Amino acid sequence: MTRQTGGAFGDIRHSDIEVNGVRLHLAEQGEGPLVLLLHGFPESWYSWRHQFAPLAAAGYRVVAPDQRGYARSQQPAAVDAYTLLHLIGDVTALIGALGGGPAVVVGHDWGAPVAWSTAALRPDLVRGVAGLSVPPLPVSGLPPLAQSRERFGEGFYQIYFQQPGVADAELARDPHSTFRRILFSGSGDRPGADSPSAWVVPQGQALLDTVPDPEKLPDWLTEDDIAAFAADYAGHGERAFTGPLNWYRNIDRNNELLAAFDGRGIDVPALYVAGDRDMVSALIGPDALRLLLEHLTPRLHRHVTLPGAGHWTQQERPAEVNAALLDFLNQLDA
């Protein structure tokens, strides 16, 4: 089934496709070589709204899925149905269903580890990879929870997310408020953004207590945008955020399943773009970031730092991100 929407972001076609037994929602625009855009937490295809038209106008077929468990896509019931192997499998199946590739894969936030790992394990299907916010990590993905617990404590958000049903209920209670709070709190416009720090929930507080509802949204984010994100999640009711949270509940399982590929680099051209006010920068640190880029992406095209930008890279700085992506795509095509 294909649907088409127009408006401020051009004509975007919407459809559903089944890959690996899971129904995924797709948004796409344009014709030409495939560029696959993978969103992060807690977003949807809509996080790429500013990228569709410019990339399509440059001659590319731009496809952004709602990834497994997110937004308009299906939510498998089992927690262990959200490992990185499942997510990489979804991307490889999508590339096959959309023409066979090779494709350029771009990921933001959680979508970045999926993109990096897909490029590492299936370079035959990926001709270029770009990560926004999250740099290239070992193929197994995020660090083990014990390591994060030791460094940031029990209140670290990735640890907090492990409690069955807790964050699920908090985030689903009022999705409109959830998106206002989380998108603002991770942005470069929040108070104290010039000194980014880890997201930690103090003992005795709830997750959303740490991200106040802003009185005014930043210029890059509108009430219509908030409503679009909330509408994407409406179909799952009380479980709206359970699928996305299950990605975090597989962090240790990912490290176990993918241990055999530890040390494997990314042997395709790469691009990394991040804001200097991104929380991820604080988690990793400049020295570790430099080592990751040097050792895991030997064919790195550029490392772009966006002054004043926070975590929502392509939404906060669409013009700069589009320019970086188009420069990368032109280099690949040349």
How high is the mean pLDDT of the chain? 95
pLDDT of residue 300: 97
Closest CA to 228 of 189, 185, 184, 176: 176
Q: How far apart, in whole angstroms, are the C-alpha atoms of residue 235 and residue 229?
A: 12
Closest CA to 106 of 50, 190, 184: 50
Closest CA to 84 of 68, 103, 65: 68
Per the annotation, the verdict on 209 as an active-site residue is no
pLDDT of residue 317: 98
Q: How far apart, in whole angstroms, are the C-alpha atoms of residue 251 and residue 217?
A: 32
> Which residue type, as a one-letter code, is found at position 221?
L
Q: How far apart, in whole angstroms, are the C-alpha atoms of residue 5 and residue 12?
A: 5
CA dihedral 176, 177, 182, 184 (to 10 degrees): 100
pLDDT of residue 10: 60
pLDDT of residue 5: 52
* Count of CB atoms situated within 10 Å of the CB of 57: 13
pLDDT (tens digit, 9 = 90+) per residue, 269-292? 999 999 999 999 878 988 999 999
pLDDT (tens digit, 9 = 90+) per residue, 49-67? 999 999 999 999 999 999 9
Tell me which CATH code domain 2-333 carries.
3.40.50.1820
DSSP designation for 210:
G
pLDDT of residue 2: 47
Catalytic pick among 109, 168, 232, 278: 109
Per the annotation, the verdict on 25 as an active-site residue is no
Q: How would DSSP label each residue in 153-193?
A: -TTBHHHHTTSTTHHHHHHHH-HHHHHHHHHHHTSTTSTTT
* Count of CB atoms situated within 10 Å of the CB of 285: 10
pLDDT of residue 1: 43
Distance linking the first and last C-alpha atoms of the chain: 36
**CB 42, CB 182: distance < 8 Å:** yes
pLDDT of residue 243: 98
Q: How far apart, in whole angstroms, are the C-alpha atoms of residue 18 and residue 25?
A: 9
pTM for the predicted model, two decimal places: 0.96
Q: Which residues of the chain have pLDDT under 50?
A: 1-2, 4, 6-7
